Amino acid sequence: MMRYPARTFEWGKRRQLRIVAKAAAALIAVIVFFSTLATTTAVGQSDALTASVDRAFRPLLAQYDIPGMAVAVTVNGQRHYFNYGAASKQSAAPVTPDTIFEHGSISKTFTATPASYAQALGRISLNDHPGAYMP
């Protein structure tokens, strides 16, 4: 297996991965928080959800100079969407439900996370050839 030194990765890609990891952690915190609010009324839950998502994501936008972000949260089977900031710094057009974001290298994080979890559970070994698990 060929290993690449960490210094060959571009700084921007590392920064993107950290941003995604922090955003995912904040989203998980929001989901856990709202899974405990079973007795809240529908209107109160929506207001509380908006406030909680705002508290989790607005600081990330400022801290990492992210121009815009779309967040989706599911609570009790209902989907809620939140749009923040601009779709691009150049156009300053707001993020909308129709905004298309480029994903860049973040898909690697979403692939590596469940693979690492499966290894921790003993279901796979990252040292095995992928053909051991796929036809």
pLDDT > 60? residue 46: yes
pLDDT digits 0-9 by tens, 59-92: 988 898 888 888 888 888 888 999 999 988 888 8
pLDDT > 90? residue 54: yes
**Average pLDDT of the chain to the nearest whole number:** 76
- First-to-last CA distance in the chain? 21
**pTM metric for this prediction:** 0.49
- Comparing 29-38, 54-63, 68-77, 95-104, the range with the smallest average pLDDT is 29-38
Look at residue 8 in the predicted model and tell me its pLDDT. Answer: 44
CA–CA distance, 116 with 97 (Å, rounded to integer): 32
Look at residue 83 in the predicted model and tell me its pLDDT. Answer: 93
SS3 call for 83: strand
The alpha carbon of residue 55 and the mean position of all alpha carbons in its chain are separated, in whole angstroms, by: 15
The alpha carbon of residue 23 and the mean position of all alpha carbons in its chain are separated, in whole angstroms, by: 5
